[in-house]
Amino acid sequence: MAEKSKILILGPTGAIGRHIVWASLKAGHPTYVLVSKTTAADIPNKPKIITAANPETKQELLENFKSSGVTLLAGSIGEHESLVKAIKQVDIVICAAGRLLIEEQVKLVEAVKEAGNVKRFFPSEFGLDVDRHDAVDPVKQVFDEKAGIRRVIEAAGIPYTYLCCHAFTGYFLRNLSQPEATEPPRDKVVILGDGNVKGAYVTEADVGTYTIKAADDPRTLNKAVHIRLPANYLTANEVVSLWEKKIGKTLERTYLTEEQVLKDIQESPFPRNYLWALYHSQQIRGDAVYEIDPAKDVEAYDLYPDVKYTTASEFLDQFV
């Protein structure tokens, strides 16, 4: 049997990185993570159900990684020598660093190029297709930075895959896109636009699964992989109706015009402005609605139809 590729994950304690680590281990890959010295004590989007795969603190998570067989390597994107040394030990590099580190990945691309052994590189994307978006600031800047990193990778001739997974359920579905809520509302809901624009939802765990499947797949080499799963490609109105059916209650729906949404984005502090801009991109501008180009794109569902992904309906069940 062919040996499994060795995979290095950067940003392993992040909202998405941890799920890529678990998926890599589950698929039997020798799994390595790069850990910086300043691992914070808390985690974003504290999960509703605390498990060993999703514990309360980053330290616990790192201990759970270690006891599960993950190799922890010290380093950070800014530390060139330790970075090159880590990369030389593996075949595939997946970066899941957060939105403030996107441009910093220029240093990572340099290190991958210098190491010279990487079969596949995934830059930190894990959102919409940054070559197709129509988002506004503050997210436009981040998406444009991600597109800029794509050009740096392509110019360096590094083999890549771009993972376009659209909306994490932990950010978009668990609160029906109500920025301050952590659970779906039971009385009133605010909907951006007319609520009839399709968005694509996926659990963070399923992003991990598809990322690892794509990592070693020749069909995804130098392509963007799009995750738009049939049962999870839904309008905001469809999502609200799904929830209403589960709780047996009709919510009061308030529809905001694009003008109202843009005003709110401009006037709100972080993180509300950022979340609204993400929701606006998907639910008003329709950034998840496009035809793929077979020369440079593939749909994850077409490649891996056997993956039993979590449907939006199943995800919402935990909140009933």
Q: Which stretch in 98-106, 150-158, 256-264, 305-313 sits in contact with ligand NAP by CB under 6 A?
A: 98-106
26 as an active site residue: the answer is no
Contact present, 34 and 9 (Cβ < 8 Å): yes
Asked if residue 111 binds ligand NAP (CB under 6 A), the reply is no
CA distance 82 to 311: 40
With the C-alpha atoms ordered 148, 259, 282, 174, is the resulting torsion angle positive or negative? positive
> Judged by CB, which is closer to ligand NAP: 37, or 259?
37
CA distance 227 to 161: 13
Choosing from 127, 184, 193, 195, the residue that interacts with ligand NAP (CB under 6 A) is: 127
Asked if residue 199 binds ligand NAP (CB under 6 A), the reply is no
Residue 142, CA atoms < 13 Å, CB-side half-sphere: 20
Q: Which stretch in 84-92, 162-170, 183-191, 234-242 sits in contact with ligand NAP by CB under 6 A?
A: 162-170
What is the distance, to the nearest Å, from the Cα of residue 30 to the centroid of all Cα atoms in its chain? 22
Q: What is the DSSP string of 47-88?
A: -SS-BTTB-SSHHHHHHHHHHTTPEEEE--TT-HHHHHHHHH
Asked if residue 67 binds ligand NAP (CB under 6 A), the reply is no
Query: Own/partner pairs for 55-58, CB < 8 Å, 24+ apart?
Result: 58/13
Asked if residue 205 binds ligand NAP (CB under 6 A), the reply is no
DSSP code, position 286: -
Q: Which of 247, 270, 105 is closest to 189 using CA atoms?
A: 247
Q: Classify 280 as helix, strand or coil.
A: helix
Q: Which candidate in 146, 198, 223, 308 is catalytic?
A: 146
Choosing from 94, 97, 239, 298, the residue that interacts with ligand NAP (CB under 6 A) is: 97
Which amino acid, one-letter code, is at 1? M
> Judged by CB, which is closer to ligand NAP: 64, or 124?
124
Asked if residue 288 binds ligand NAP (CB under 6 A), the reply is no
Cβ 197 to ligand NAP, closest distance in Å? 16
Residues 234-273 that bind ligand NAP (CB under 6 A): none
Asked if residue 78 binds ligand NAP (CB under 6 A), the reply is yes
Asked if residue 161 binds ligand NAP (CB under 6 A), the reply is no
Q: Which of 64, 19, 65, 61 is closest to 42 using CA atoms?
A: 61
Choosing from 20, 22, 54, 58, the residue that interacts with ligand NAP (CB under 6 A) is: 58
> Judged by CB, which is closer to ligand NAP: 144, or 244?
144
Q: Which stretch in 113-121, 125-133, 150-158, 244-252 sits in contact with ligand NAP by CB under 6 A?
A: 125-133
Binding site for ligand NAP (CB under 6 A): 10-17, 34, 36, 38-40, 44, 58, 76-78, 96-99, 101, 124-127, 165, 167-168, 171
Give the residue numbers annotated as catalytic, written as ranges: 146
